[in-house]
Amino acid sequence: MEYRLDCQYFLGDKPCKFLERCTCQHFSPRGPRILIIKLGALGDVLRTTPLLPALRTAHPTAQISWVTHPSAMELLDKNPMIDRLLPMDFHTCAFLGAEEFDLVLSLDKDPAGAALASALKAKTKNGFGWSAQGAVYPLDEKSHYAYFLGIDNELKFKTNQKTYQQIIFEMCDLPYANEEYQWELAEADAQTAKLWAKGSGFDRRRPTVGLNTGWGEMFAGKGWKEEKWENLIYALQGFDVNVVLLGGTRETDLNTRLFLRNRGRGSLHNSGNNNTLGQFSALVDFCDLVVTGDTFGMHVAIARKKKVVALFGSTCPQEIELYGRGVKLFTTELPCEPCYKKECDHSIHEECLKRITVEQVMAAIQGLLPLTAIVRKEQPPAQRQQQREERPERQEHQFRRP
């Protein structure tokens, strides 16, 4: 009995979809075999997806495989441009070692991903590998620029003006034409978000601003402080607008406090903090604009083609592609920023993000999203807090009055 390993429909362990022997008229030769290695972080995985349509254009018949961290599988598992999605684990490394690829795109400086790229058999390898001396190194000349961004602070912090997408497209020898993120909502996630909106009394006739209050722990100076978020909520409640609190499990307490202190004025909604990645994306989809730090939530908003006001502290704003739909806010007054440090060792701790004001954020919002002002009498949070602190002293003074 004959079999055709070179047919794109051949599976090997079971009949193909045509249920015929390998000499059938449906034979179609396999195209180029391409492997993408991009493990994390979640936002980086999402902003690597613009490569997929460009790869499909350059290699229409290619079989595209992608290896990623198990936590990022949900971001890619519904993508029709990926033929095979694999978790980074022992079994994946074992059977990939027996295969051969036409092109390996190793886009992660993670030692495990780089080592896998170096160990695989491939005609061409672009990106990063793992040297015999135990260090990441560029596998090809096109990846030199991306490589030196990681070891040359002057290049990364001051000189570079390229976005992440421009950089990885250069690594992959592909022309960059502003390809967008590739992430579609699952119907089940969209329905879950609709049920939340119905249960919370969400009025979709109003414009909606999402406040993504969280930030990642990898770098210092990525999170705006609680009082800033509260004052921004108060400012937004002066307009006819929905305000939605967004975040993950780390923001549960913060968002609960913000909601309870401010729910009596305007349309404020807490979207919850135990959502899956898909459910979180569906909630972001309700927003017209999202205010966010340099976090996964920012990348979700970009992927869903929302207007974005992005706040930057210790990371580089120039590497973020907003596709003409957003504003980046950052300061240039401190000699230490950006720094990409895990902990801030400056005497004015995380001052880089503190210097972004509520007034700047509101100006950016109003420049992107038309808002209608409403009349109100409530005092700003800072003034209310001052009065609460002064009240006990006044009461004591009145008690002592003869």
Distance CA 381, CA 386 (A): 9
Return the beta strands (E) in 187-321 as ranges.
208-212, 242-246, 267-270, 289-293, 307-311
pLDDT for the residue numbered 16: 84
- Measured CA to CA in angstroms, residue 126 lies from 77, 117, 330, 360 at distances of 24, 9, 33, 41
**pLDDT beneath 70: ranges in the chain:** 216-223, 332-354, 375-402
**What is the pLDDT, as a whole number, of residue 394?**
35
- Tokens found for residue 335: 């000699």
Taking the C-alpha atoms of residue 238 and residue 234, their distance in angstroms, rounded to an integer, is 7
Question: What was the pLDDT predicted at 147?
Answer: 97
> How much is the CA Rg of the chain, to the nearest whole Å?
25
Q: How many angstroms separate the CA atoms of 58 and 60, rounded?
A: 6
* Amino acid 31: pLDDT: 82
Q: What is the pLDDT of residues 51-79, one digit of tens each?
A: 999 999 999 999 999 999 999 999 999 99
Please give the model's pTM, rounded to 2 decimal places. Answer: 0.85
Q: How many Cβ atoms from other residues are within 10 Å of residue 70's Cβ?
A: 12
Neighbouring residues of 62: CB distance < 8 A, sequence distance ≥ 6: 31, 32, 33, 34, 55, 56, 102
Here the tokens at position 197 are 């909106």
Model pLDDT, residue 378:
61
In the numeric block, the tokens 């909604």 are attached to 269
Q: How far apart are CA 357 and CA 205, in angstroms?
A: 29
Q: Do 327 and 72 meet the contact criterion of CB atoms below 8 Å apart?
A: no
Tell me the two tokens of residue 394: 């006044």
Report the sign of the C-alpha dihedral through residues 147, 152, 153, 158, in that order. Answer: negative
pLDDT at 19: 74
- Pairing mode, strands 33-37 and 100-106: parallel
What pLDDT, on a 0 to 100 scale, did the predictor assign at position 316? 79
Q: Summarize pLDDT for 104-147 with one digit per residue, the tens.
A: 999 999 999 999 999 999 999 999 999 999 999 999 999 999 99
Q: What is the DSSP secondary-structure string of 28-94?
A: -B---EEEEE----HHHHHTTTTHHHHHHHH-TT-EEEEEE-GGGHHHHTT-TT-SEEEESSHHHHH
